[in-house]
Each structure stands twice: as structure tokens, then as C-alpha cells.
With several copies, the nearest count.
Chain A
Amino acid sequence: MLIFEHSRPGRRAAVQAPDLDGVENDLPAELLREDPPALPEVSEMQVVRHYTKLSQKNFSIDTQFYPLGSCTMKYNPRACNTLAMLPGILARHPLAPASEGQGALACLYELQEMLKEVTGMKTVSLTPAAGAQGEFAGVAMIRAYHDSRNDTARDEILVPDAAHGTNPATATMCGYKVREIPTLDNGDVDVDALRGAVGEHTAGIMLTNPSTLGVFERRIKDIADIVHQAGGLLYYDGANLNAILGKVRPGDMGFDVIHMNLHKTFSTPHGGGGPGAGPVGVGERLEPFLPVPMVGYDGDEYFWLTEKEVPQTIGRLSTFMGNAGVLFRAYIYARLLGREGMHRVAEFATLNANYLMKRLEAAGFDLAFPERRATHEFIVTLKRQMKEQHASAMDFAKRLLDYGYHAPTTYFPLLVPECLLIEPTETESREEIDGFVDAMAKILEEAAEDVELLHEAPHTLPVRRLDEVRAARELDLRWKAQG
């Protein structure tokens, strides 16, 4: 039932809007609205009930295990929320002078410093609102760099064929052509192909390491040398940073620019689709081009760095300073973890992934890269099950929901047929992982015995499998008032 269906003309949550005693409307009639919008007219209790019950229809980290590769669905500490919601934090206007926001600016500055240290980059700007915006900023800086050197023939960004969709989309947004680099059977980038691809048109390369194939790119130094020698720069997609936190730093691998998904590695909540935060870090060459605002500190006072102080900046990416509330949460998380905690993130994410990989292999699943170490994630391919039993990756995914587990990432990366990209994260216990293995093994049995059970799944959720084709064909994108 939609909230609109609880609506009755004239009903109001009366304490929520101001009284209009004595208020006159002096605005010219021709600028005013004639018909009020048909927003719901409901009581406060109806709103509370409706949205409380809706919330219960969701899976979430607070209720389920989410082995969702590349998304790093780990526990979002409640303190990060509680403390970022302190009245004194929430009340600060973004344009309040820096002198009146020293508390907030201190947090942001210290977060910049910590992110520098953990990525090995020279300078960090926190302003990108999400990973994709961080990517945009990164590639835009690469472009600004070449432009500043009048090196304007470079019109191509290299992207491995296994990359996230945002990588090529971002390159396009920055006005670049995209050239894909193939991947070897062992999961590494085809360095020979790369060598053949680079040249005077190469603006740079976008890489994730560990890659989206769940393996560490072992020849990263060679790749860096090849691209650099061709005059290109290296972009690091930080989506998989959780795997290497405190173990190896993108700056040390030779990357010139990196974005970080704080809603992954720094455990800010996914919120049902955002907000995220995608800070960017750069080495020396790209420093002049960082997006503004950033926070500076003279040892005494914190202040904003804007177009004045960073004249070559690629500019602003949002009205104010990006998703500050997300940054506060990440800051709090980082302070809770501290130096030792950072190391442990990668260690236990990797331990969990390798353990889960071995156990699934023992349970009869095929690994995409059986001879490689898992990083924080790994890939199972159900090509065999698809062929033998018509049980697809999607069928496994939907059936897992019935067992109370969120599905792994399906059909990504595109290179591996019928794949499940599985990432358990460090915050899950061994028992939880064992329970997941049991469910997977049970589904494998079901596939052999009664594959319809999988095709028809899910069975226990608020709805059964949805008609996506109809959704796209007979577009129904909004409720409309009757009559």
C-alpha cells in the first residue's frame, strides 16, 4: 500500500508545520501556484507505521550477511552515526565562516591527513560526493595536467576489460575515448597488449588493484612503468581498497591519482543507495589540479582552500564541500580503528575471503581463478551448473535470499560467465561464513534435485521474482491521483 493510499483530504500531522497567524502573502498572484501538489495527507502515526513497516521489507547489514563482491558491505558502527548526528555537528551551515567551524574543520583536516598516509599520496581532497565523482575528478585532473603542458593530443584512456562500468563512463564524461586492454586467463592484465596500446594518444590508464577479478595485479610496477614512459598517468579506482589497507599503498605502486569509496573501506553506510563519498588523493604532478574546497591548517587555525589558493583546480564538484556528514562518519571510524585496526581490515577481509573460497571449492563450486589467492573477494562461476542443470547465477542469487543471505554480485565482471563475485568482509564471523557455505551447498543439491525451486525463487520474501521487462516496457514511475 502506498503512502498516498493512506491519504484523506484535510488530514494533517498538525504539529509539524507553523501556524500562519497574521502571515500575509505579498507575492504577485501570477507567480503563485494555483493547485496544490497532491502530496499525501496523513497523520504522523500513519507515516511512522508506513515507513517502519516498509523498512522491515529490506535486507540490510544490520539484519543480513551481504557477500556482495566489490561493494564491501561491512558493519557500519553505530557510533559513527550517533556522533555525526550531534546537534552541534548537524547545525553548522556550510557557509558559516571557518573561524566558527574549527571543530568540524579539524575533523575534515585530520581525515585528509589519514587518507594521505593510508594511500601513500601527497594530497587529498575530500569533496567528491561518491566514487563516480571521485573518478571524474581523477580523470579530469589527468586531462588538466596534460592540458597544462599543452600535451593535447592525448585523447585516450585505457581501461582493462574487467573494469567497473563507471571507469569507461567517466572517461567519456571527461571527453576521452576509451580503449580496452584484455585480461589474461590468470586474471592479470595482458601487459604485452598494454605495451602495444600505449603511445602518444595515451592520457592514462584506470586500474583497480586488486582487480575486479578478485586478484592482485602482480605486474603493477611494470604497468606503471609502461604507462609513465608513454607519458600517461595512472588512475587507481579505490573500490577494492579494503583488500590492501595497511598492506600496500597505491602511491607506492606508482599511481598518480586515486579515489577512495568511504562507504566501502571506511564503513560509512550504503543507505539503500547512497550517500557515499569519494575523496581523491594525488601525487605531486596532479596536486595543482585538485578539486576544491579542501581544508588547510597553519598550525593554529583551520581554513578553506578554494579557487583563490588553488588557481589551477579543476573546480568545484558540488555546491558546498561534498558529503560532509559521510566524511564525519569515516573520520570517526578511522579514529576507532587507528593504525593497528587499519592493518587488520585487510588481514581479516583476506582471511575470510580465502577461507570462504576454499570451503566453496570443497563444496563443489568452480572458482574462476582456482590457482590464485583470493584478495578480499573472489569469483565462483556457475557455467557448469548452467549447462548441466539450467541453474544460472541469477537462480543461485535469488534462492540465497530465501536462506536469509543477500546475493553476491552477479554477472560482474562481465568476462566470467555465470559468475558470482563474493566478498565476505572482515566483520563477518566464521560461523556466518560457514552458514553461507551450508546454504550454497544446499542450493547446489536443490539444483540437481529440483531446479524449479531455484527458477521460482525467492519464495519467502515480500514479493516473488519481479517482471523487469514489464517494468521497463510499461513504464509506471509515479503514483497519480485518481480522476
Chain B
Amino acid sequence: MPFVPHTEDDIRDMLKTIGVQDIEDLFDEIPQQLRCGTLEGIPQGMTEQDVSRLMHERASKDGQPLCFIGAGAYEHHIPAAVWELVTRGEFYSAYTPYQAEASQGTLQLVYEFQSMMTELMAMDVSNASLYDGASALAEAVLMAIRANRKSKSRRILMPTNVHPAYRATTRTIVTNQGIELVEVPFDNEGGHLNLDSLEAYSGEDIAALVIAQPNFFGVLEDVDALTDWAHANGAMVIAVANPVAAALLKPPGQWGETGADIAIGEGQPLGVPLSSGGPYFGFMCARQNFVRQMPGRIVGRTVDRDGREGFTLTLQAREQHIRRSRATSNICTNQGLLVTAATIHMSLLGAEGLRRVALASHANTRKLVDKLANDHIRLRFNRPYFHEAVLTTELSLDGLVRPLYAHNLQPGYMLNDDYPELGESLLVCATETKSDADLDRFADHMARAIEKQTTAGHPVQPKMA
């Protein structure tokens, strides 16, 4: 019996203690007509050996391609120590630290995490994590609506150069509460949010402006001017930040005159493997005065009966298990194990390490863009970018991209569906994990695909010179 330790003797004795004949008797309060059958749709149990074999086969089927996709999830080097520590049973199989005295390991670690995230974002406070970057943005929007005392509106300015999935997720989560997400278009030449496009809203009652740095296209925003514009108009600023980039770029807490009000983002680049999209974690930092409006768990330092330092969950009155229908969010489970990974990762990399990762990634993407750019492919936007860039072509992008899959190479994320207005465009990213040989391999395969398309039966003339 998998994972059931009972012997025949145990079962007999235990039933006797309970005073029933049979295990089935224990289900006698369930109406008989509701009882289900034998679950024919579920396969027979397998031994660990057979499941192991199955998973090895599936894993090797998907292989380990050379991947230049970024678009919100980034392949970075993760020190081996990170997951060897994270998967220790005492972290891996521990419960939420409600019994503080029996959870000082996790609690101190989360306190350290909060300290690191506030340092990285240059903000006052951090929570203990949310599900991921997109849902963190949704929670930030709800929080801004609660926190912005100056605003009576339920309107949020949401630039369309924010990650499409972040916008979609936010829509799903906030619209039932009557919140309006006003989409603000990006600048066609720069890919950034042009201050001009905000002027239409000057003087209006706006609860918050969302600013992504870098934005979905990798383009860098003029965060100072945008932040100051928002504050001048009584709107809060919700920063969407890449935490690795934050070691290099001006952090949200230092944007404009007074800094962003809330900073959220995807924590995945901090030591979390790609793993088909999750589990990752969302982080959220804020100014001190908004701490009671924050969703999610927060750990505080305190003392025990003997005056010894200790750590505990705090401000629980915000949370659903206390406040029920008046909670700041229904969030309950967070992404504790990923926070564990990120905390260990940040300790190993340090500020200098993260800065190097950011710079090396950016340099690689620059190199890649140079290698790929030619008569048929060019950089789409003219603004500075960070470690990710949009390339555009007059050729069929699908026709260029598909042949590369067969060579175990994933060249980037195609923007056609999300941004039809950008034509045949590809978002590429080369992190510090890519060698020069990798970049050359990409460029060579791409050149071959272009040649094929431009010669054999596809005599497309370049539109650009």
C-alpha cells in the first residue's frame, strides 16, 4: 500500500478500538447512493522505478534546447548550493510558520528575504511573496485602490508595453470589483511610454499608474519623469521591476522626486528554474505607510519571553483567516519554497554578483542583436533597452523560426498575436548563460533560414535599406 504504514495487526486493533468491524463502516455517514465506483479512469499504481523511467523519458523528449526566449522568464545560472539547500526536508516539507517557535528557520529566512527585497527595490517594506509577477500586479492594483486616499476613482493607467499576461491576469482578478484598467499606448518609435500620451489624463482622478522597467519589449522607460507626472496628478506609482536589473538600474524607490509607491515583479530570475512557468514567486514592496494595506504574509522580528530575538508572522489582522470577507486579499498560501531559493541565491550572488549578471546578460543581448541584424532583420525600437530586444522583419517570421526548432534552438518569443501592430516581430533575450558560440549558432541558423526564404521561391525584396 503506497505510503500507508498500517500492518494487518494495526488495522484489526484500531478497528477494535474504534468499535467497528470494517474500514468501510467509517464511511457510514455518507449517503450510500453517493458512493463512487472504482475510478476506472485512473491507471493502476506504478512502482517508483516505473514512474522514474516514464519521467526520464518525458524529460529527455523535451530535451534541453538552446533557448533565447525571455518575455518574463529568464534562464540565469543558479548556484548548485541553492536547490541542494532548498530541498532539505526541513524547508521542503515544513508547514506555513504559524507556530512561530517551531518555524524559526523559515521565519528568519523570510525576514532576511524581506530585507533583501527592500534593499534591491530601495523601498521600505516587503511582504513574504505572492504567486508570481502577474498576480502581484493585480494585487498591487487592488492595494493602490485601497491605499490612495487622494483618489476616489477606480481607474488605473496601464501602458500596453506592460507584459500582456500581466495585463490579462490583472484584468481577470480586478474587474469583478469594478476597477477600470485604462490602456495607454506605447510610443511607436521608442517602444516606451511617452509622457505625451499621458497628458490626456492630466488633471483626471487616477488611482495609479503602472510603469514597467524594463518594459515588455526590454525598452527602458524614463521612470523619473513618469513617476513625477503621476505624483503631480495624485496617482500612485506601481513599479513593475526585474529584480536582477534592479541591481544595475535605478531602483523603484528612487524614481523621480519621491520614488514609486509600490514595487512588484517576478522573482523567478533570482534562482528559480524555468520549469515550464512555475512555481515562481511574485514580490511586493511598498512605502512604510502602506504596510497595513499590503496583501500576503509579513514576518516581523520580536523577542521571546526571555528577551531573545525571534521572528513571527505579523499584521495578521490584514489576512483572510482573521479578517475573512474584509481581508486585504484572499491569498493564503504563498510561494515560500521559492522565497527560500531566492534568499539563498541573493546571498550567494550579492549586489555585485547580481550587477554582473545584469551587465553580462545585457552585453550578450547586445551582441546577439548585432549578430542578427542585417538587411532583413532590424531592431524595432530606437530607445535604450536592457537584456531583451524586439527584432522585426519583412519576411515571414514563422518561416524563419520554425526551422530553428528542428535544430533544438528556440529563437525568441513571437509578438504577432499580442502585438499585431508590430508586424513580424520577435522578442529575443540572451542572458549571461549564453556563450559566444551559442550566439553564433543562432546567427548562423537564422542566416540560413533567411537565405532559404529570400532565394528559394520566396524572392522577397527587403523594404528597409
Contacts and interface: CB of A to CB of B under 8 A. Distances in A.
Direct contact of A and B (CB under 8 A): yes
A62 B432 contact: no
A184 interface: no
A175 B145 CA distance: 14
B353 A13 contact: yes
B235 interface: no
Contact of B276 (A92, A253, A272, A475): A92
Contacts of B56: 83, 86-87
B442 to A, nearest CB: 15
Nearest to A428: B5
A39 B69 contact: no
Interface string A25-54: 111101111101111111111111011101
Contacts of B357: 17-18
Interface string B301-327: 111111011111011110111111111
B34 A471 contact: no
B248 A33 contact: yes
A316 interface: yes
A117 B42 contact: yes
B45 A339 contact: yes
A58 B104 contact: yes
A100 B405 contact: yes
Contact of B176 (A10, A143, A320): A143
A271 B87 CA distance: 9
A20 B1 contact: no
A165 interface: yes
Interface in B75-134: 75, 77, 79-81, 83-85, 87-97, 99-106, 108-112, 114-116, 118-120, 122, 124-126, 128-129, 131-134
Nearest to A71: B95
B5 A173 contact: no
B81 to A, nearest CB: 4
A129 interface: yes
A132 B93 contact: no
A90 B324 CA distance: 37
A398 interface: yes
A173 B176 contact: yes
Contacts of B309: 463
Interface stretch (B198-206, B291-299, B374-382, B445-453): B291-299
B443 interface: no
Interface in B260-277: 266, 273-277
Given A247-B27, A332-B51, A326 B60 contact: no
Counting contact residues on chain B (CB < 8 A from A), the size range is: 35 or more
B21 interface: no
B189 interface: no
Contact of B330 (A88, A94, A132): A132
Contacts of A358: 17-19
Nearest to B359: A23
B332 A166 contact: yes
Contacts of B332: 130-132, 165-166
A114 B165 contact: no
A420 interface: no
A451 interface: no
Interface string B4-40: 1111111101110111100100111111001110111
B278 interface: yes
B338 interface: yes
Given A9-B7, A427-B5, A479-B111, A464 B64 contact: no
Nearest to A429: B5
Interface stretch (B180-188, B340-348, B455-463): B340-348
Contacts of B310: 462-463, 466
A86 B279 contact: no
Interface string A426-442: 11111000000000000
A337 to B, nearest CB: 5
Contact of B91 (A27, A58, A88): A58
Nearest to B36: A249
B329 interface: yes
A93 B5 contact: no
Nearest to A353: B26
A51 B85 contact: yes
Residue picked from B42, B93, B351, most chain A C-beta under 10 Å: B93
A183 interface: no
Nearest to B276: A324
A3 B181 CA distance: 41
A13 B133 contact: no
Given A175-B178, A319-B266, A273 B303 contact: no
B291 A477 contact: yes
B59 A477 contact: no
B5 A114 contact: no
Contacts of A51: 85, 109, 340, 343-344, 347
Given A78-B84, A407-B99, A314 B172 contact: yes
A473 to B, nearest CB: 9
A238 to B, nearest CB: 13
A302 B291 CA distance: 44
Interface in A244-275: 244, 246-249, 252-253, 263, 267, 269-275
Contact of B101 (A215, A334, A398, A475): A398
Interface string A78-90: 1101111111111
B413 interface: yes
A83 B55 contact: yes
Given A33-B250, A97-B405, A324-B277, A17 B39 contact: no
B93 A62 contact: yes
Residue picked from B77, B333, B350, B356, most chain A C-beta under 10 Å: B333
A57 B349 contact: no
Interface stretch (A193-201, A225-233, A344-352): A344-352
A95 B278 CA distance: 12
Interface in A310-329: 314-326
A106 interface: yes
A458 B310 CA distance: 13
A173 B355 CA distance: 39
Nearest to B88: A55
B195 interface: no
B453 to A, nearest CB: 19
Interface string B142-165: 100000000000000000000101
B135 interface: yes
B367 to A, nearest CB: 10
Nearest to A74: B3
A99 B405 contact: yes
B106 A323 contact: no
A355 B277 contact: no
B335 interface: yes
Given A100-B65, A324-B277, A342-B39, A39 B346 contact: yes
A359 interface: yes
B43 interface: yes
A36 B352 contact: yes
A227 to B, nearest CB: 16
B420 interface: no
Residue picked from A88, A100, A325, A466, most chain B C-beta under 10 Å: A466
Contacts of A334: 42
A60 B172 contact: no
B131 to A, nearest CB: 4
Nearest to A116: B41
A340 interface: yes
B399 interface: no
Interface stretch (A133-141, A279-287, A383-391): A133-141
A94 B276 contact: yes
16 contacts: A2-B115, A3-B112, A12-B353, A51-B85, A52-B90, A56-B90, A60-B92, A96-B410, A216-B29, A273-B97, A336-B48, A350-B27, A355-B18, A358-B18, A373-B28, A467-B305
List of 7 A-B pairs having minimum Cβ-Cβ separation, nearest first: A338-B45, A62-B89, A320-B277, A273-B336, A94-B277, A88-B59, A271-B337
Given A37-B351, A66-B95, 12 more contacts: A18-B47, A40-B346, A57-B105, A77-B81, A88-B59, A102-B61, A143-B176, A272-B96, A272-B340, A319-B169, A325-B275, A430-B6
